[in-house]
């Protein structure tokens, strides 16, 4: 009986929608240029970076490089596009996953 209740509780938790992530500011967040994998690194986004972005799209339930974390995808040009995360740790985890899966 107790095992059944635990299983039902787990199923209920899995079915309950998680709170959606709220957008965060790009300036001061951490990102890397995924189109420049050999020269990029995670770093704090400055006002100068933000001014260079042509477009930015926020993904609440991001799944970039198989890492689930909300992020902004900001394009500078056809050869430069940043993935930007709320924390340095999130940025670093996604960056390292990208590098590990590189051809």
**pTM score:** 0.76
Q: What is the DSSP letter of 33?
A: E
pLDDT given at position 71:
94
pLDDT given at position 74:
97
d(CA 16, CA 2): 21
Give the contacts of 91 (CB within 8 A, at least 6 positions apart): 29, 30, 31, 32, 42, 83, 84, 85
Local confidence band at 6 (pLDDT 50, 70, 90 cut-offs)? very low
d(CA 64, CA 37): 14
Counting residues of the chain whose pLDDT is more than 70, the rounded percentage is 78
Dump pLDDT digits (tens) for 30-71.
999 999 988 999 999 999 999 999 999 999 876 777 778 899
């Amino acid at each position: 009986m107790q095992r059944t209740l635990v299983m039902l509780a787990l199923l209920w938790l899995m079915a309950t929608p998680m709170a959606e992530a709220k957008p965060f500011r790009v300036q001061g967040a951490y990102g890397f240029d995924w189109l420049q994998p050999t020269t990029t690194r995670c770093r704090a986004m400055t006002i100068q970076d933000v001014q260079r972005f042509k477009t930015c799209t926020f993904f609440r339930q991001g799944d970039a490089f198989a890492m689930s974390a909300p992020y902004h995808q900001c394009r500078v040009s056809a050869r430069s596009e940043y993935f930007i995360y709320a924390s340095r740790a999130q940025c670093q985890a996604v960056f390292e996953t990208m590098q590990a899966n590189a051809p």
